[in-house]
Chain A
Amino acid sequence: MTSTTHHYAVLVVFLFFVVGALFLSVWAASYRDTTSDFYIGGGRLTATRNGLALFGDYMSAAALLGNPGLLALNGYDGIPYVLGPAVAWTVIGLLVAERFHATGRFTVGDSLADRLRPRSAHLAAGIATVVVCLMYLVAQLVAAGALAAPILGVHGTTAERVVIVSLGSLMILYVIIGGMPATTMVQCFKAVIMLAGGTVAALMVLARFRWNPGALLDTAAHRSGHGDAFLRPGVRFGSAVASKLDSLSLQLTLVLGAAGLPHLLMRIHTVSTARDVRRSIRWATALICSFALIGGVLGIGAAAVLGPHRIFTDSPSGNTAVLLLASDLGGSLLVTLLACVAFATILAVVAGVTLTAATALAHDLYGGVIVRGAISQRRELVVARAAVLLIGVVATALSLFARDLSISFLIGLAFAVAASAILPALLYRLYWKGFTTRGANWSVYGGLFSCLLLIALSPQVSGTPSAMLPHADFAAFPLRNPGLVTVPFGFFLGWLGSVLDRRGEGLPRR
């Protein structure tokens, strides 16, 4: 990526202006100092803006860089990464959003607590939320570090650490000052430039192939070295039984996990009526599915224009494929544009997830468990801001150690925990009157710990040359993604706990 090296000055100037403008607008914005304003912007957001912000909250660096790269290298087998997170919006939009909006005020814990014993509900949901958010945050910050070399043109461990720490502290400060209104602002901004940049790049790809998608597919298959096999299943996952199950497990996790991601759920509370919830979901889904298509065109386009060899030599994971493509299509101007989009993307997601984790700490764990609701707004706000600082510092520190972990592994982990620990309890809470506190505890803790255990025993952690601990071998579980086992397990425990609870008591209890 030598062509971009001398343009990092442009990027730095751009970021400086963006960040300056963001801080100024937050400082100037009318802002009432209440918990409701800090957590959910007072619930006064318009549906259109919330739709944009949901898009901005959801689309991470993976959607812009990682997934098109996987598509470019693996052809058809890259599709699940693009498709799963988009199809997930039928679950969020049709099953979860409105009912979730009607229960609770801010967090998943609130939603569980208004039917179950409040203290254990806040504790379980708070812990699961913090775990999911930390994994998600670490993935985003590691991605930011990995972008340092190809985008900023600076190499080495120190440069990556500087990027991680500066992004992390920037967002801590930003969220502490502005809370949800500021987070919404950066997410809307990011959504607009990501859609614009992605559309321009995708149109340039299509123009290169004379607006003929067939020619694009043909060229990609031809240049990939796989021929027609590129366009059919099997390039990445092979045909062993374990790898087929692994692929299924990943897809199940992707399509269900999104509906359990706490930062999306909290965003649903930022509008006031059920009608606005539906309108924001319609906006968000339309934008997310359009971007899935854009990502598809970019991925296949990268394969067709560059060929897999150039992509693989620059980054074996394919993370830089889109940037290489941009430099080939539009020169340094387009690369700089997409680099800015990539950083804005990471800033927006980090802000949203940090705020959500801090809300879980301050509102669920401190307010709901430690002081049991006996807390003034003023005091909870102080705790919430301290929690932003704590979460931000912990996530940044973890990211410095997690630098070598694959970004898609970390994101897959966060989705798996969300799908196995949060989603079952949430769906039971929203749809089943017989759900009890014991059921909630069993499904949240059971889903959480089974997920973490199976990941520790998976080939991701030990037993293979590419694992975290390549020299150890305690990989007793054959799948890289535990979702196929732990998601049904979480649902089963929630049912079992509730049934046993009621049988023991003789009647439904709170």
Chain B
Amino acid sequence: MEVTVGVVGLYVLNAVLAETSRDFMAATVVGPLNVGFALALFLLAATVGATQWHGRRETRR
């Protein structure tokens, strides 16, 4: 539950940031990779991570 709220919350935050602080989203991370693209990649990884973690934890119980 908390993890879902966390990931979906980050997703909504990402969406709000894209609308309100565009300069922040355009800030450089590495080379042409900016914060916006980095956040998108992170969210994909977090989604996979969350479902893998949840699946393993519940199965071990």
Contacts and interface: CB of A to CB of B under 8 A. Distances in A.
Query: A and B: real partners?
Result: yes
Contacts of A244: 19
A425 to B, nearest CB: 18
A506 interface: no
Contacts, number: 120
Contact of B22 (A84, A233, A248, A282): A233
Contacts of A83: 11, 40, 43-44
B31 A292 contact: no
A232 B11 contact: no
A247 B15 contact: yes
A478 to B, nearest CB: 15
B51 A94 contact: yes
A289 B33 contact: no
Contacts of A293: 41, 44
A427 to B, nearest CB: 11
Interface string A425-443: 0000000000000000000
A98 B58 CA distance: 10
A91 interface: yes
A356 B53 CA distance: 30
A87 B7 contact: yes
Given A87-B11, A233-B18, A255-B11, A93 B54 contact: yes
A80 B11 CA distance: 10
Contact of B52 (A86, A87, A286): A286
A87 B36 contact: no
Given A91-B8, A293-B44, A248 B15 contact: yes
A47 to B, nearest CB: 10
Nearest to A286: B48
A95 B1 contact: yes
A310 interface: no
Chain A interface, DSSP helix/strand/loop, else mixed: helix
Contacts of A217: 31-33, 37
Most chain A CB within 10 A, of B7, B11, B52, is at B11
A232 B22 contact: yes
Contact of A278 (B8, B32, B50, B58): B58
Interface residues on B, range: 35 or more
A8 interface: no
Interface in B3-60: 3-4, 7-8, 11-12, 15-16, 18-19, 22, 25-26, 30-34, 36-37, 40-41, 43-48, 50-52, 54-55, 58-59
A232 B34 contact: yes
A231 B43 contact: no
Most chain A CB within 10 A, of B26, B31, B45, B47, is at B47
Given A247-B15, A278-B54, A231 B26 contact: yes
Nearest to B57: A278
Given A251-B15, A282-B51, A232 B32 contact: no
A247 B12 CA distance: 11
B7 A90 contact: yes
B44 A86 contact: yes
A250 to B, nearest CB: 9
Interface string A459-492: 0000000000000000000000000000000000
B56 to A, nearest CB: 8
Contacts of A223: none
Given A76-B37, A217-B33, A232-B34, A289 B44 contact: yes
A381 B59 CA distance: 36
Interface string A232-252: 111001000000100110011
Contact of B37 (A231, A286, A289): A231
A94 B44 CA distance: 15
Contacts of A289: 44-45, 47-48
A232 B36 contact: yes
Most chain A CB within 10 A, of B1, B3, B8, B22, is at B8
Nearest to A245: B19
B51 A281 contact: yes
B59 A233 contact: no
24 contacts: A76-B25, A84-B11, A86-B43, A87-B11, A87-B43, A90-B3, A90-B8, A90-B47, A90-B50, A93-B51, A94-B3, A95-B1, A95-B4, A214-B33, A218-B31, A231-B34, A233-B22, A244-B19, A247-B19, A275-B59, A278-B58, A282-B51, A285-B47, A296-B40
A-B complex: 10 closest residue pairs judged by Cβ atoms: A232-B26, A278-B55, A217-B32, A233-B18, A214-B31, A285-B51, A244-B19, A93-B51, A251-B15, A94-B4
